[in-house]
Structure 1
Amino acid sequence: MADFPGKVNTQTSSPQSQTEPMNIMNVSVDFNFIKSVTGILLLVEIAFGLLVWPLISSAFYWYPPAYGWVLFVSITLWIFTLALFTMLILGIRLKLPSIPWPITLLVFYVVASALYFTAFLANVVSIHYFQDATYNHLAAGAFFSVCVTVAYIASAVFAYLEWKGDGGNAAMTTVPV
């Protein structure tokens, strides 16, 4: 028993990163994101989406019930896309690495593409109710809704390519020596 030290410290320490609060407020604007394909597509989706819902709401949209769906989809996705653009340009994607961003963006763009496509179809099918001055507003809304749909599909394709090129399977990317 003489060999056993008299004072033994049995306390364990935790890493400092777990006890410190996460600092999200330290964000910076990434102007290179605007020059990327994803940034340009998001700006196109915001701009054309901003044209869709005012054009629809300026007509008598309550007459055929399908325009309620068109307005819901266009306004909701415009707000979500604006929020996503803000998050990506401020670099919050890098501040929250626990979120699987490639698959999250892919799911968002695929769902947005499907919803906007149904809104486009509802818009096109319901135009025949109008033969007055609002016909042009609804036709322009249909045109811009198909443009937004194509932009969301293109974003979904680029998100899919980012997801597949991310190297998510660690077993396939490691090389034994």
Structure 2
Amino acid sequence: MPGKVNTQTGSHQEPQRTSMVSLNVDMDFIKSIPGILLIAEFVCGLLVWPLIASTPYYLYPAYGWVMFVSVTLWILSFVLLIVLLLRFHQSLPSVPWPLVLLGFYAVAAVLYLTAFITNAASVPYIFRGNLGASAFFGIVMTLLYTASSFFAYVGWRGEGGNAAASTVPV
């Protein structure tokens, strides 16, 4: 019967497989002190630059620096959060992650300190409105990045307790 003839010639065809990317979230990192600090940096950083952007900050040249620091560090903190949360850092074992974290947090703390001083010194009528609130969150961000610097230093030196030593990527 011609309708029942198999026309395949020789090779065995495998079923097509769909590529699934499995995202493995590091729940231990979220529960650790460095993880909580990084999430707090992301959230508080999200408060600093919109508070400035909602005012006529362009009238005060000093706020250009504050906007640059706050937006840049907010984006970099978001990228770092994703890298650590999804364990992408494990794909790059040749990168000295404890040292990278220490450098990032230390530089971020210094930059935010300069941004806070610039912001606070430029607020017309001492801490008024959104610019005053952005100055407050600027010092909060400075303290958060300083605390993260401490935990990154402890992790880099290898002298930490369980929370700091177990959450800094190796």
* TM norm structure 2: 0.78
Structure 1: which 5+ residue stretches go unaligned?
1-24, 167-177
**3-state SS of 1:99 partner:** coil
Q: How many residues align?
A: 139
Contact 1:51 1:144 in 2 (8 A): yes
Matches within 5 A, 1:53-72: 53-72=49-68
The within-5 A match list for 1:82-161 is 82-128=78-124, 135-161=128-154
Specify which of 32, 38, 47 is matched with residue 36 of structure 1: 32
Where has structure 1 moved over 6 Å in runs of 4 or more? none
CA gap 1:155/1:93 in 2 versus in 1, 3 angstroms: same
Calculate percent identity across the aligned residue pairs: 50
Q: Distance in 1 between matches of 2:158 and 2:142?
A: 24
Deviation at 1:135, TM superposition (A): 2.9
Equivalent residue letter for 1:115: L
- Note the alpha carbon deviations across 1:11-61, whole angstroms, 9 max, x for none: xxxxxxxxxxxxxx6651111211011110001100100000010111110
**Whole-angstrom CA distance in 2 between matches of 1:141 and 1:152:** 16
Whether 2:74 is the aligned partner of 1:81: answer no
- In structure 1, what is the Cα distance between the partners aligned to 2:24 and 2:108? 28
Aligned-residue CA RMSD (Å): 1.6
CA contact under 8 A between 1:27 and 1:92: conserved in structure 2? no
Letter in 2 for 1:51: L
Per-residue Cα deviation, 1:68-126 (whole angstroms, up to 9, x for no partner): 00001000100000000000000112221100000000000011001111000110010
Long gaps (5+) in structure 2: 1-20, 160-170
| Length-normalised TM-score, structure 1 | 0.75
Alpha-carbon separation, structure 2, partners of 1:26 and 1:57: 37
